Amino acid sequence: MEAQTFSVREMAAVIAIGAVGGCTSPLQPMLLGALLAAHKISPEAMGHAATAEALGMVLGTALASAYIPPRRLKWLITIALAVVFTANSLTIMLGGAGIQILRGFCGLGNSVLLWLFLSMLARSDTPTRLYAAFFLTSASLIFLLSMSLSAFALDRFGPNAGYIAFLIIEIILLFVVRLAPDRYAEIQSARGAAVPPVRGLLGLFSITLYLTGVTAFWLYSVPLGSEVGIPVRSMQMIVSAATGVQIVAGLAAMTLAAKLKASHVVVFTAIGGLAAALTTMTSGNIFIWAPAILIFAFCWMFAPPFHVAFLISVDPSRRAALFVGTAQLTGFVVGPLIASAMISSSDFAPARLVTFVCYCASLTTVAIIHLTASHAPPATTNSELQS
């Protein structure tokens, strides 16, 4: 099908809605970490809640893509916002009880908000730039929320301050929904899409491994720092500052979208993130941890806008690119799941081991793709995607 044309107003509205739906995972160290610090949940429950929410995102996005027609979108998003609002309200009211179930339902609702953006992305002729704009918006929102929470909101309003902030944002989004498109063009071929070829599956697997490593370390970054003697408040401030670096990463990705080779970005961001995570093993000095966390956050946020172009380069049929959202969200599910199974209330170091293994496996998978390149069809360059 030909690319669908959207107005600036429609794109801005959909990016805002999708950014809210997709920003929970980066804020989990603050949201769930506050409940952990207040002894409302255990370290294991923290990991399980993060996994349940991410799993809800994966299942919801997959079901929406498979069964929901791209019509009556405004009504659909309003229902999804109601589900998220209810889950966040009950999280506040019940004080940690049933946290896994509530976060799972919140993930389902947020998945529909994110699906709205991913559906627009699938119909765009400039996916990297649109994705970069989305990540920039998401990073800005995360930065404002995390700085507000760490600077004053958690002290003034307690461990539920983050969820209270989301309630306010969700009310505002009810007005933003009016600016979004009410339908998308049908993509008839998407329903009968064949399974990606082996190289495409490997590309998807490498993305899932990368984000599994990201979330395993990021979720437990605050207790990892606290474990080596850095005050919790200081770690929260570092994480907040790291979300500001993510804004820079989003701007950089948007600017360099047509100039960098996507496969190179995938490799070097994995190497940079791995080096940053391993650096935190060398010392309990806050002046070593702070730049390491900042570098880790930059690499994390710089890579995803290039994932679509990377998948098209390894699978020019674009069948693999259809599943980029599933691959990314699966990483957000598996990371906390594996890390929570390995850590204990007195030892969070295994979370970093998960990151090391997953990053190395991701780089190995990309190397295998590269070694089989001579047998593949000519790849589509990232600059061609922007033309």
Residue-wise pLDDT for 76-95, tens only, equals: 999 999 999 999 999 888 87
Q: Is 55 a residue whose pLDDT tops 90?
A: no
Of 47 and 234, the structure prediction assigns the larger pLDDT to 234
The answer to which of 189-193, 224-228, 337-341 has the lowest mean pLDDT is 189-193
Q: Is residue 385 part of a domain?
A: no
Q: Which domain holds residue 23?
A: 9-184+193-374
Q: Provide the number of structural domains found in the chain.
A: 1
Average pLDDT, the chain: 84
Q: Work out the number of other CB atoms within 10 angstroms of the CB of residue 330.
A: 24
Q: Per mean pLDDT, which range of 201-205, 232-236, 328-332, 377-381 is the poorest?
A: 377-381
Task: Tell me the per-residue pLDDT of 247-290, one tens digit each, with 9 for 90 and over.
Answer: 788 788 878 877 889 899 999 999 999 999 999 998 888 999 99
Instruction: Provide the percentage of residues in the chain whose pLDDT is more than 90.
Output: 35
In sequence order, what are the residues at sequence separation of 6 or more whose Cβ sits closer than 8 angstroms to the Cβ of residue 151?
240
- Is 65 among the domain residues? yes
**What pLDDT sits at residue 53?**
86
Q: Which of 138-142, 179-183, 232-236, 352-356 has the lowest mean pLDDT?
A: 138-142
Residue 30 within any structural domain of the chain:
yes
Q: Is residue 383 part of a domain?
A: no
Q: Which amino acid is at 154?
A: L
User: Is residue 327 domain-resident?
Assistant: yes
Asked if the model's pLDDT at residue 141 lies above 90, the reply is no
Whether residue 205 lies inside any domain: the answer is yes
Q: How confident is the model at residue 109, as a pLDDT? A: 94
Q: Mean pLDDT throughout 145-167?
A: 85
Task: Give the residue from 225, 183, 186 showing the smallest Cα distance to 76.
Answer: 183
Rounded CA separation 124/305 (Å): 13
For residue 270, the model assigns a pLDDT of 96
CATH number of domain containing 119: 1.20.1250.20
AA identity, residue 307: H
Task: Give residue 214's identity as a one-letter amino acid code.
Answer: V
Identify whether 109 is part of a domain: yes
AA letter at 141? L
Neighbours of 90 (CB within 10 A): 17
Which residue in this structure is represented by tokens 């606290």?
Answer: 226
**Residue 188 clears pLDDT 80, i.e. is over it:** no
In a 10 Å sphere around its CB, with 0-12 CB exposed, 13-18 middle and 19+ buried, how is residue 31 labelled?
Answer: buried
Angle at alpha carbon of residue 221, lines to 328 and 333, rounded to 5°: 25
Distance of CA 98 to the CA centre of its chain: 24
pLDDT digit string, tens, across residues 286-336: 999 999 999 999 999 899 889 888 988 888 776 777 778 888 888 887 888
* Residue 119 lies inside a defined structural domain of this protein: yes
